[in-house]
């Protein structure tokens, strides 16, 4: 009991940050599932979402700036796909990866240019920034909101994928582009849909994530992006439930490690985990076999 009381704040923080990683990780895993591409720019899109919130809230009320953040982020995600990935549809996979790395640096540098290299203060968003008391732990409302919202969104997403026509099209395209085209599926639209969902969830994730931080810098997307990517690999890249479970495990472990007083090792833990998975079970917890799409 004493142990739990002492570690409750860390456990709560872990669940919360796990949910935030999950919202980012879904974008990685879905894009990988359909394009076999690791979208290195995804973490930076997440960072841009935070900057949009910062700038939007300086002039606009929250009920405008949050939807605006979601819209701008989705448009950015779709634009990146159109400009940087779509022209390379038939190119070797390595070319697309390099393009993704290019986009990542481009977004970071654009952010550097726009912010002038100054950390931008993230606004306090009412309700989710409110302080609450849970047992022995004092925390922000976002800690409770995140896991609930994450689970609702993941549930909705699974419904979309498993029980709608576009979802069926997405699963088919993940199997085989050419045969999907033969069925009359517009594969490019399905891919856009994937980027739309990934970017939207990343934008929601950014609102939740940055509520716990004071400011945003151009590299703010790198670390959570990387953690979410590890979560996706851990869960079995391509699998949505895998990414979500992986994200929660990583979030919780990281924070428990902090609770034990080994804060300096909490990041190292995540990357050690990545290495261990890649050695022991490269397909992750729920990964498909080594079915490489040609």
Partner 1 sequence: MLKVKDLKVNYGGIEAVKGISFEVPEKSIVTLIGANGAGKSTTLRSIVSLVKPASGTIEFMGENITGKDTNEIVAKGITLVPEGRKIFPDLTVLENLKIGAYMRKDNLTDDLNWVYDLFPRLKERHWQPGGTLSGGEQQMLAVARALMSRPKLIMMDEPSLGLAPLIVKGIFDIIKEINRQGVTILLIEQNANMALRTADVGYVMETGSITMTGTGAELLVNEQVRAAYLGK
192 binds partner 1 (CB under 8 A): no
Find the shortest distance in angstroms from Cβ 293 to partner 1: 12
Restricting to residues 165-184, name those near partner 1 by CB under 8 A: 165, 168-169, 171-172, 174-176, 178-179, 181-184
267 binds partner 1 (CB under 8 A): no
Find the shortest distance in angstroms from Cβ 1 to partner 1: 46
Cβ proximity to partner 1: between 139 and 192 the closer is 192
Cβ proximity to partner 1: between 61 and 184 the closer is 184
186 binds partner 1 (CB under 8 A): yes
Going by C-alpha positions, the residue among 204, 273, 237 that lies closest to residue 19 is 204
* Site map 112..151 versus partner 1, x via CB under 8 A: ----------------------------------------
β-sheet bridge partners, residue 131: 140
The residue count for binding partner 1 (CB under 8 A) is 16
Find the shortest distance in angstroms from Cβ 171 to partner 1: 6
Find the shortest distance in angstroms from Cβ 82 to partner 1: 17
Find the shortest distance in angstroms from Cβ 150 to partner 1: 25
Cβ proximity to partner 1: between 177 and 229 the closer is 177
Find the shortest distance in angstroms from Cβ 34 to partner 1: 12
Residues that bind partner 1 (CB under 8 A): 165, 168-169, 171-172, 174-176, 178-179, 181-186
């Amino acid at each position: 009991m004493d142990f739990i009381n002492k570690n409750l704040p860390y456990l709560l923080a872990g669940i919360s940050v796990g949910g935030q990683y999950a919202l980012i990780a879904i974008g990685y895993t879905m894009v990988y599932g359909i394009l076999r591409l690791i979208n290195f720019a995804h973490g930076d899109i997440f960072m841009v979402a935070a900057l949009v919130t910062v700038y939007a809230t300086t002039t606009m009320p929250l009920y405008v700036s949050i939807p605006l953040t979601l819209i701008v982020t989705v448009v950015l995600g779709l634009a990146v796909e159109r400009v940087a990935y779509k022209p390379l549809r038939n190119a070797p996979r390595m070319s697309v990866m390099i393009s993704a790395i290019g986009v990542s640096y481009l977004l970071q540098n654009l952010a550097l240019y726009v912010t002038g290299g100054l950390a931008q203060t993230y606004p306090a968003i009412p309700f989710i920034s409110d302080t609450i008391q849970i047992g022995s732990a004092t925390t922000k409302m976002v800690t409770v909101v995140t896991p609930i919202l994450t689970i609702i969104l993941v549930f909705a997403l699974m419904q979309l994928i498993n029980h709608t026509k576009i979802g069926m099209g997405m699963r088919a395209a993940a199997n085989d582009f050419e045969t999907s085209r033969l069925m009359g599926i517009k594969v490019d639209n399905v891919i856009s849909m994937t980027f739309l969902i990934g970017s939207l969830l990343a934008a929601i994730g950014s609102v939740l994530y940055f509520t716990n931080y004071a400011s945003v810098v151009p590299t703010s997307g790198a670390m959570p992006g990387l953690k979410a990517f590890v979560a996706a690999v851990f869960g079995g890249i391509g699998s949505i439930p895998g990414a979500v479970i992986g994200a929660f495990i990583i979030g919780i472990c990281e924070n428990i490690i902090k609770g034990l007083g080994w804060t300096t090792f909490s990041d190292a833990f995540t990357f050690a985990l990545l290495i261990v998975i890649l050695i022991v079970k490269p397909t992750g917890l729920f990964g498909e076999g080594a079915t490489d799409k040609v």
